[in-house]
Structure 1
């Protein structure tokens, strides 16, 4: 955690955060360099995410980048120094992986908004999110091997789980770039719209999420993420017991049925 503390004083420059009506927006804020995910930025992101995880008033977290990029990936010049400091490089990799695990294991919903370049580490950050909203004009790539690098923040594992091994190998081994429409077509993006419609699409998406039970959103995310890691039979058994507990103990599950029966909007309390 030393790297997190080191970044604390620099967080406002590298990472911005705004909270409004239960929705937090984290913005990578180094547009002149296409928002690189260097050591200090990753540490600042991790610290910001951990703060939001402790904030019970926030249920949705939007990740986006300032300027022309979501994130064009790591700081390759900085890596030249990190490679010579093996303990520090491992600390960086640990922090990056911890950040993505925090996002995946969170009970909150993370939405990545990708409008421009999303490459290498940017792609790895995007892959950890629950929903990816991409502009048609987005430029999405793995790109590591273009400079003889390898994905070190889960890209080699999350990408094939998202789009299949053959498509993942195509993107990783060739380093080719795809747009938002193709990303949606192959399952790398949840939804793609023209750049001019991106903000309206985000507003609609957030409105859809906020109409749902927070407890239900938490449960659905947990079942999809956890079930996908194990064998099918074990995952089905996990779903069975989780849904049984949810349906028989939560206010929202019963209230949803009552609202359907009475043809009214459900009064969801997140419990």
Structure 2
């Protein structure tokens, strides 16, 4: 199938999207500036994510950056003007937070492909994704305090929930950067491979996901994300009720068992 290309922002094509075989690839496209998450880029990303959410033919979204970075974070020079306009700055922060919440709550699986710099807002965007594949050569950092800034898009909350408060404070308070291998050991990324193998790793994960029921993927993401927000007993009850409904009402759950019994590949329909 030929890729369908579109620009999510007419202005400078800050964000580009290509769709192929049920996978949308979003590319941050300001490589000379290391793909900053400025106000217009965030607005373009939010609009694009919302459009993709309405397309039931897309089950996976890959996020990546053009050039030598995933994203080096916010546009600090632009912030100087935003800081003088309190309502506009609050709208920017709201849009950025809404973007990350849309990704987390989406029924689609989001994969961040990280190479080069992934800093500050770039890290916050990465943390909202479901799977993170990083090159060994990546440089991942919070970095806000290096310029007397604070994380304002969930970094102070998602980071400690991902790697624990002590490791999170090490990264936030020192601003130090770590490579992909250390990030994997820390539990900050799902998998790290040499840069030369990164595309093969992406293809491998996409192939794995393609063999799964879209309905099952949606349910697993929902249970992991939602269960982690509440008390353990409530989360276990949520899982019990969800799985009971899924197993007794979906085609895919029963078809998976039938395929196992008959030693064949399941005919998954996403329903």
Residues in 2 aligned to 1:248 and 1:13: alpha-carbon distance in whole angstroms: 46
Inter-CA distance 199–8: structure 2 relative to 1 (3 Å threshold): closer
Mapped contact 2:142–2:175 kept (Cα < 8 A): yes
Larger helix fraction of residues:
1
Q: CA deviation at 1:8?
A: 6.6
Residues in 2 aligned to 1:12 and 1:242: alpha-carbon distance in whole angstroms: 44
Residues in 2 aligned to 1:244 and 1:71: alpha-carbon distance in whole angstroms: 41
2:134 equivalent in structure 1: 134
Residues in 2 aligned to 1:27 and 1:8: alpha-carbon distance in whole angstroms: 10
Q: CA deviation at 1:13?
A: 1.3
2:191 equivalent in structure 1: 191
Q: CA deviation at 1:69?
A: 0.2
Residues in 1 aligned to 2:8 and 2:211: alpha-carbon distance in whole angstroms: 35
| TM-score normalized with structure 2 length | 0.96
**Deviation string, structure 1 residues 188-232 (Cα, Å, up to 9, x no partner):** 000000000000110010000010000000000000000000000
1:259 equivalent in structure 2: 259
Residues in 2 aligned to 1:58 and 1:8: alpha-carbon distance in whole angstroms: 16
Residues in 1 aligned to 2:9 and 2:154: alpha-carbon distance in whole angstroms: 28
CA RMSD after TM alignment: 1.1
| TM-score normalized with structure 1 length | 0.96
* SS across alignment from 2:151: coil
Mapped contact 2:247–2:254 kept (Cα < 8 A): yes
* SS across alignment from 2:234: helix
* SS across alignment from 1:37: coil
* Runs (5+) with no aligned partner, structure 1: 1-6
Mapped contact 2:34–2:67 kept (Cα < 8 A): yes
Inter-CA distance 9–260: structure 2 relative to 1 (3 Å threshold): closer
Q: CA deviation at 1:56?
A: 1.0
Inter-CA distance 151–109: structure 2 relative to 1 (3 Å threshold): same
Mapped contact 2:113–2:133 kept (Cα < 8 A): yes
* Runs (5+) with no aligned partner, structure 2: 1-6
Number of residue-to-residue matches in the alignment: 265
Matching of residues 74-85 of structure 1 within 5 Å: 74-85=74-85
2:35 equivalent in structure 1: 35
Matching of residues 185-224 of structure 1 within 5 Å: 185-224=185-224
* SS across alignment from 1:10: coil
Q: Which runs of 4+ in 1 moved over 6 A?
A: none
Mapped contact 1:11–1:44 kept (Cα < 8 A): no
1:117 equivalent in structure 2: 117
Q: CA deviation at 1:80?
A: 0.3
Answering whether residue 145 of structure 2 is matched by residue 145 of structure 1, we say yes
**Deviation string, structure 1 residues 123-178 (Cα, Å, up to 9, x no partner):** 00000000000000000000000000000000000000000000000000000000
Residues in 2 aligned to 1:179 and 1:104: alpha-carbon distance in whole angstroms: 25
